[in-house]
Structure 1
Amino acid sequence: MSDNSSFPFGASLHPFSFHNCFHCTVSNFIVTAITVTNSLLTLPVSVIVLHVGRRRRQHPTVTSHTEVITYHMVLTEIMYIVASVLYCISVYTDLQWMMMASSNVSFIVACGQMFFHVLTCVERYLAVVHPVTYLHLRKGGRVTVRNTIVWCVWLLGLAKMGVLAINSLEINVLVYLIQQAVALAAVAFCSIAVLQVLKRPGPGEGGGDRERVDQSKRRAFNTIVAIMWTLVVRFGGCLVCTLLYSSSRLSINSRCVAFVSSYWFCLPSSLVSPLLFLHRAGKLPCFKGNTESERQSP
């Protein structure tokens, strides 16, 4: 265990005693590869989503709850990438105080990412399983509820600093494992409930509209399946990697490699929601024709 006094910001603020991984060559290489990949793939998509969202926010009638959550989600992605870049700089310049600051920010932002992904699944669950309640919440007077929930997510991310201040590997790992397990259970429950509703025939699906309704349901079904599996991979992978990190049977270098490898499991879910948003907005050239035909269909 490294000496906490060697860090200006105090290692007690850092979860999982991750400062022990600062000089692990393999884990730093993995973090660098993940940072470069995110900078090339996730960052451009996130910036485009915010740009499109800024223009769509000028027309509140076309802005849904899911879109607002997506805006905040991509904002956390950008913050996470910036923190990752700073961490990589600290590794190659041997600035341990920058490593501490950037890695703390990344863990706090990751908490917000998790809650925003869960909120997206809950929103789809309400829209499909409880449509009456969902329509009631979509009224203008209920926007305050949504905004309050969104800002509570940010506050929870800041509140995590209190957990990080507890200089206990066991407590930090336990809290993180509980978060990932609860998120995984919530995503699985909401997604399975939505899929069950989509598989059942609804009222008014007979006659000439049946084929169009079936195609619409099939697209929704495939979308939910894609989102569900990316989130299962994200939370399930992080869960397994954290369990490996907490194992005392592994060397510190192996534990560091296991933990940073969990970031690869986050990449699919970091891309799928923004890409689906751009697809719905007709901003993906390769799918623009399909989106326009969907809009024009009666």
Structure 2
Amino acid sequence: MALISTAIRSVVPHLLTTSNSSIKYFLSDCHHSIGNKIIYTIYAFIKTLLLPLYIFILLMGFQQWKRQRSAAPGRSNNHSDFLTYQMMMVDIIGVLGTVLYCLGTNIKSDSLIMLGTFLLCFVFPGQTLFHVLTSIERYLAVVHAIKYMQLRETVKIRVRNISTAAVWLFCFMWLGLAELYLPRFPTEHLLAYLAICLIVSAFCCLSVLYFLRCPRSGDAKGKQPRSDQSKRRAFNMLLAITVTLALRIFGILLSVGVDHLISVHIEYLCALINSSIMLTLPSNLVLPLLFLHRTGKLSLLREKFRKNIE
């Protein structure tokens, strides 16, 4: 917390005093426009509705951790589930940033706008990288299943924890990079980063698809249907992550790069830039829904919802 407060004190005043920059341009011309207020109010409302879902999944993870700790102290949560829990923490910070930004635009407070922007900028890398790490974990579990199963659980946990810590560290590094490039925006770095994330996720998805269509001859015939079903579930999961990740990346590229590509009236430009943020919503839902589906909670919620309607 001390590190975060120090970063806020150093970054926010710098941003507020920056002039003749792309950040000031968006603050002065877009952040206080009527269209921006309407779009981000809707966006903040939707994100706030998702907050109970994020908290519910974290509570489920905490309860599962307590049960496993009492039953088998040496065991750990499913690695995909662990990444989902990390994603929920990132999304909760993102909800806070969105609400602060929306509040700042409606009361015309540049301090709240920049604090919300700071939080959103902080969680931006994590919201993408945890999707990528989930894709890599599923890819290893399916395509390199034998080697993956032969790894000791302690090794898997160590690699998982190091990867998770690296993602959180990269969130702080991204803030430093953004401040370093002021008054410009590190567009080139952003394009390279998003391209790498999308390529890795697509590679994992296509590799699992190829492995599903071309099973190895060493697979036991008796276990083949069950194995194929597991691979198919992994492919569906990777496909959902890749598609929503592509939508998210497309929305981000529109948000940061459309002003360099076309020349239109500022009101239409702001509307296009702000509307593109809606494309990031599916990526905020894919991991929670996949988690609820794996744990069987989604079908239970569907049953309760159907009974309430009837």
Q: Considering the TM-score relative to the shorter chain, is it more than 0.5? A: yes
- Count of residues paired in the alignment: 280
Of residues 58, 68, 85, the one that matches 1:71 is 85
Equivalent residue, structure 2, for 1:82: 96
C-alpha separation in 2, matches of 1:55 and 1:168: 46
| Contact 2:142 2:208 (C-alpha < 8 Å) held by counterparts | yes
Structure 1, unpaired ranges of 5+: 1-6, 290-298
Do structure 1's residue 130 and structure 2's residue 152 form an aligned pair?
A: no
The residue number in structure 2 matching 1:117 is 131
Once the two structures are overlaid, the 10-residue window that deviates more, 232-241 or 30-39, is 232-241
Alignment match, 1:57: 65
After superposition, give the CA deviation of every residue in 1:165-188 in whole Å (9 maximum; x if it has no partner). 12143x422222222222111111
TM-score, normalising length from structure 2? Answer: 0.80
Give the counterpart letter for 1:98 in structure 2: L
2:182 to 167, 171, 184: 167
Alpha carbons of 1:55 and 1:135: their partners in 2 closer, same or farther (altered >3 Å)? same
In structure 1, the residue matched to 2:111 is 97
**TM-fit CA distance, 1:85:** 0.7
Is the contact made by 1:80 and 1:105 (CA closer than 8 Å) also made in structure 2? yes
Determine whether 1:260 maps to 2:270: no
Q: Structure 1 residues 190 and 8, CA, compared in 2 at 3 Å: closer, same or farther?
A: same
Other structure's SS at 1:206 match? coil
Instruction: Rate the CA distance shift 1:232–1:32 in 2: closer, same or farther, 3 A.
Output: same
C-alpha displacement of 1:53: 0.5
Q: CA deviation at 1:201?
A: 2.6
Structure 2 residue 18 is matched with structure 1 residue 39: no
**Does the CA contact (< 8 Å) of 1:241 and 1:262 recur in 2?**
yes
Q: Please identify, of 243-252 and 271-280, the stretch whose mean Cα deviation from structure 2 is larger.
A: 243-252
Q: Which runs of 5+ in 2 are unaligned?
A: 1-11, 70-74, 304-310
Question: For 2:261, what is the secondary structure of its paired residue?
Answer: coil
Q: Counterpart of 1:167 in 2: which secondary structure? A: coil
The 1:216/1:135 distance shift into structure 2, 3 A limit, reads closer
TM (norm. structure 1) is 0.83
Distance 1:245 1:64, change over 3 A: farther
Aligned to 2:221: 206
* Cα-Cα RMSD: 2.7
Which residue number corresponds to residue 183 of structure 1?
Answer: 197
- Once the two structures are overlaid, the 10-residue window that deviates more, 146-155 or 246-255, is 246-255
CA distance in 2 between partners of 1:288 and 1:223 (Å) = 20
Give the Å deviation of 1:240: 4.1
Judge conservation of contact 1:118–1:186 (CA < 8 Å) in 2. yes
- 2:208–2:231 Cα contact (<8 Å) kept: no
Q: In structure 2, give the amino acid aligned to 1:109.
A: V
Partner of 1:246, secondary structure, is helix
| Distance in structure 2 (CA, Å) of the matches to 1:12 and 1:189 | 43
In the TM superposition, residue 210 of structure 1 has moved relative to its aligned partner by 4.7
Moved more, 18-27 or 92-101: 18-27
Runs of at least 4 residues off by over 6 Å: 12-15
Higher relative contact order (CA 8 A, sep 6+): 1
Query: Is the 2:205–2:242 Cα contact (8 Å) retained in structure 1?
Result: yes
State percent identity of aligned pairs. 34
Inter-partner Cα distance in structure 2 for 1:11 and 1:172: 18
Report if aligned partners of 2:51, 2:92 keep a CA contact under 8 Å in 1. yes
